[in-house]
Amino acid sequence: MMTAKKTTPAKKVSAGKIPSTKGGRVWKFGDNIDTDAIIPGRFLTLNNAGELAKHAFEGTRDEFARKVKDGDIVVGEKNFGCGSSREHAPLALIGGGVHVVLAQSFARIFFRNAVNVGVLPIVCHDTDQIDDGAEITLDLKHGYVEVSGKKLAIEPVPPFMQGIIDAGGLVNYAKTLKEVPACTKSRR
């Protein structure tokens, strides 16, 4: 789990090519938001972020797709993104302008997919203090989010994933590589 222990972030999180988020709207969800909720199975024939975004949270939260705006932040609690490996889930979010997801913990495949396609998954242990519809500003440099007058600490992403975020996703990262050095270890 990404939330093994509560730590005060010592290192800053760099956002790579992810736009800064200031005054975005919070879309608040609870525990165990699965990828079927984010994008139902019947839309998986679509491979385009914009098209997928039209069906994000369909049946779970119908107004999301209509009202989501660039810079909004999706906030969950525990185990966000559990279930299927469908990358259509983070794509459906980014297609609607959501570049950041905040949660107390993330399911493993979603976390990795999000980083790979350029959605920043950020662990914040205090998302229970964040209300739906609130205005939220993310300060990656100093490691907190500011919402309803409160500053809540966020965790740094694992160092080996920071390189992918800095490149703006795995595709750009991969373009810089001619071959990969097999069996090399990275910083954790």
Enumerate binding residues for another protein (CB under 8 A). Answer: 1-2, 32, 34, 36-37, 40-42, 44-47, 59-60, 78-79, 82-88, 105, 107-109, 112-113, 116-117, 158, 160, 169-171, 174-175, 177, 179-188
Q: Which is nearer to another protein, 92 or 136 (CB)?
A: 92
What is the rounded distance in angstroms from the CA atom of residue 113 to the CA atom of residue 115? 5
Instruction: State the SS3 of 1-45.
Output: CCCCCCCCCCCCCCCCCCCCCCCEEEEECCCCCEHHHHCCHHHCC
Report the nearest approach of another protein to the CB of residue 60 (Å): 6
Toward another protein, which CB reaches closer, 111 or 144? 111
Contact 144, 150 (CB under 8 A): no
| Residue 1 or 69 having the CB closest to another protein | 1
Residues sharing a CB contact under 8 Å with residue 149, sequence separation 6 or more, in sequence order: none
CB of 35 to another protein, least distance (A): 8
Shortest distance (Å) from residue 142 CB to another protein? 27
The nearest distance, CB 43 to another protein, in angstroms, is 8
Tokens of 50: 């914009």
Nearer to another protein, 89 or 145 (CB): 89
Give the sheet arrangement for strand 100-103, strand by strand. 120-123, 100-103, 73-75, 24-28, 135-139, 144-147, 150-153
Q: Alpha-carbon torsion 91, 68, 165, 155, what sign?
A: negative
Shortest Å, Cβ 188 to another protein? 6
- State which residue, 114 or 147, has the beta carbon closest to another protein: 114
